[in-house]
């Protein structure tokens, strides 16, 4: 929602594993029905760099993605003063030293075992984010701007 409102000016040059909540719920049911006792399954989806994830989300929302990217070293350095100000009682609304440090690490996970043993097959993030944007619009939580669609194939 912050991205839809233009409040995400930067993207870390790291990445994360992304998956829709419906797919995670289906994965839990599949693990309950078909999983082996004592085994663990990663119910991840696509491993995406943050700039690409924001670009996909921005397209679905019909807004521009962040143009500035920040290196992990920059994020670690920026976390230091935030730690200091939080120790004296100040809090920033949506950013903290620990959060910046977490964004400075690439968190990719492999769901191949869940796919192999449970038949787990999450939807592509482009589809998940398009559906999410449509739902947010329908509920009036974001503006009604049209998503920018790629040109049609000939």
Is residue 151 domain-resident? Answer: no
Total domain count, the chain: 1
Q: Is the dihedral of CA 132, 135, 139, 144 positive or negative?
A: positive
What backbone torsions phi and psi does residue 146 show, to the nearest 5 degrees?
A: -80, 140
Is residue 90 domain-resident? Answer: no
Is residue 95 domain-resident? Answer: no
- Coil, strand, or helix at residue 46? strand
Instruction: Return the CATH number at 43.
Output: 3.90.25
Domain span including residue 33: 10-72+106-138
- Longest distance between any two alpha carbons in the chain, whole Å: 60
**Tens digits of residue pLDDT in 20-66:** 999 999 999 999 999 999 999 999 999 999 999 999 999 999 999 99
The model scores a pTM over 0.75: yes
Is residue 35 domain-resident? Answer: yes
pLDDT score, position 86? 66
What is the radius of gyration, based on Cα positions, of the chain? 18
CA 153 to chain CA mean position, Å = 28
Is residue 92 domain-resident? Answer: no
């Amino acid at each position: 929602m912050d991205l839809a409102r233009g409040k995400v000016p930067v993207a870390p040059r790291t990445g994360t594993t992304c998956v829709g909540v419906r797919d995670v719920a289906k994965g839990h049911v599949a693990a309950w029905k078909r999983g082996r006792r004592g085994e663990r399954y990663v119910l991840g989806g696509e491993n995406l760099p943050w700039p690409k994830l924001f670009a996909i989300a921005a397209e679905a929302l019909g807004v521009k993605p962040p143009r500035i990217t920040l290196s992990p070293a920059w994020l670690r350095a920026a976390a230091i003063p935030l730690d200091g100000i939080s120790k004296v009682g100040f809090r920033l609304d949506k950013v903290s030293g620990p959060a910046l440090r977490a964004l400075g690490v690439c968190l990719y996970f492999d769901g191949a075992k869940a796919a192999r043993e449970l038949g787990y097959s999450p939807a592509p993030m482009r589809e998940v984010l398009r559906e999410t944007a449509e739902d947010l619009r329908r509920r009036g939580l974001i503006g009604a701007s049209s998503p920018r669609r790629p040109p049609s194939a000939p």
